[in-house]
C-alpha cells in the first residue's frame, strides 16, 4: 500500500518512518511511504504557499492552489485509487474503523495543514477531512504519522502476529484492552495479579475481560455512554 504525505516540513516525518515496524514494512515492500514538499507545487516565484485570510484575522492561511496541484499530480502517479485525506482540527474524529477501512485502498494521500488552517476550497478535492482528537496541533504532520501507523498495522504482514492486532483496544470492540504485565512478578512492592500466574486460561480470560471493562469505565466512560464529567449515564 502506498502512503503519500503533502507537507512543508517533510524533515519532521523522515525519521519517524525510518525505524521500527514501519521501516520493516517498507523493507518488505508491504508499504511505500513518500514525502512531498508542498512548495514544489506553488506557482509563486518565491514558492510561497500561504497568504493573509480574506475578511481579516490573525495569522496566515495555506493557499488552495498548491494543495490542488499536489493532489492532481500525486494521484496520477498512483496505480489505483488514492483516498485523499485533509488532516484538520475541524475534521471528523479518526477512529479504528477508519484504519481498518483505509487499509483496503490502493493508497492514501494525507494533506498536512499549518498556520491558521487551509483554504476551505481544498475540501472540494478531498475524500475526507479528519481530526485525530479534540485538540489543536501546530501542523498536520503528527496526525499524518498517527494515521499511517494505525492503518499500516491493519495490513497483513506488517505486525508479526495477527493476534497482537486483534487484541488491541478498539479493534472490533467498544472497549479498551486489558492491563498487561511482564517480569519480574514483584517490583517496588507491586505484584502481578496471582490469576495471571495460575495457568488457568479460563480464569485469566475472565480476569482480563473484567479489567478491560473496568479500565474503560475509568479512562474512557464516553465509550460506555457515560457522562464524562459526572460519570453518570447520559441516557
Model confidence at 217: pLDDT above 60: yes
- What are the residues whose beta carbons fall under 8 Å from the beta carbon of 61, sequence distance 6 or more? 50, 51, 52, 53, 115, 116, 117, 118, 119
What 3-state class would DSSP assign to 160? coil
User: Assign residue 204 a region: left if phi > 0, alpha if psi is -120 to 50, beta otherwise?
Assistant: alpha
Phi, psi of 107 (to 5 degrees): -160, 155
DSSP annotation of 59 reads S
**pLDDT exceeds cutoff 80 at 21:** yes
- Write down the pTM of the prediction: 0.84
Average pLDDT over residues 211-218: 92
95: left (phi over 0), alpha (psi -120 to 50) or beta: beta
Average pLDDT over residues 167-196: 83
86-99 average pLDDT score = 95
**What would the mean pLDDT of 77-100 be, rounded to a whole number?**
94
Helix (H) or strand (E) holding 111: strand 107-112
% the chain with pLDDT above 70: 91
Determine the pLDDT at residue 79: 83
19 or 163, greater pLDDT: 19
Domains along the sequence of the chain with CATH: 2-152 (3.40.1280.10), 173-224 (1.10.1270.20)
Amino acid at each position: 500500500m502506498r502512503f503519500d504525505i503533502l507537507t512543508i516540513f517533510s524533515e519532521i516525518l523522515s525519521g519517524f518512518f525510518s525505524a521500527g515496524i514501519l521501516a520493516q514494512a517498507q523493507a518488505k515492500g508491504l508499504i511505500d511511504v513518500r514525502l512531498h514538499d508542498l512548495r514544489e507545487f506553488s506557482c509563486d516565484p518565491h514558492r510561497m504557499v500561504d497568504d493573509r485570510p480574506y475578511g481579516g484575522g490573525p495569522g496566515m492561511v495555506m493557499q488552495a492552489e498548491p494543495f490542488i496541484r499536489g493532489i492532481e499530480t500525486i494521484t496520477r502517479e498512483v496505480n489505483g485509487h488514492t483516498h485523499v485525506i485533509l488532516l484538520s482540527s475541524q475534521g471528523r474524529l479518526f477512529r479504528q474503523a477508519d484504519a481498518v477501512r483505509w487499509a483496503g485502498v490502493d493508497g492514501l494521500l494525507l494533506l498536512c495543514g499549518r498556520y491558521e488552517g487551509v483554504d476551505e476550497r481544498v475540501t472540494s478535492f478531498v475524500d475526507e477531512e479528519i481530526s485525530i482528537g479534540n485538540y489543536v496541533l501546530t501542523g498536520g504532520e503528527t496526525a499524518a504519522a498517527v494515521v499511517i501507523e494505525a492503518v499500516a498495522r491493519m495490513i497483513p504482514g506488517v505486525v508479526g502476529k495477527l493476534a497482537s492486532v486483534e487484541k488491541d483496544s478498539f479493534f472490533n470492540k467498544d472497549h479498551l484492552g486489558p492491563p498487561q504485565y511482564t517480569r519480574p512478578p514483584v517490583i517496588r512492592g507491586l505484584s502481578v495479579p496471582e490469576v495471571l500466574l495460575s495457568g488457568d486460561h479460563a480464569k485469566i480470560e475472565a480476569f482480563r475481560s473484567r479489567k478491560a471493562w473496568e479500565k474503560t469505565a475509568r479512562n474512557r466512560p464516553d465509550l460506555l455512554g457515560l457522562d464524562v464529567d459526572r460519570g453518570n449515564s447520559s441516557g
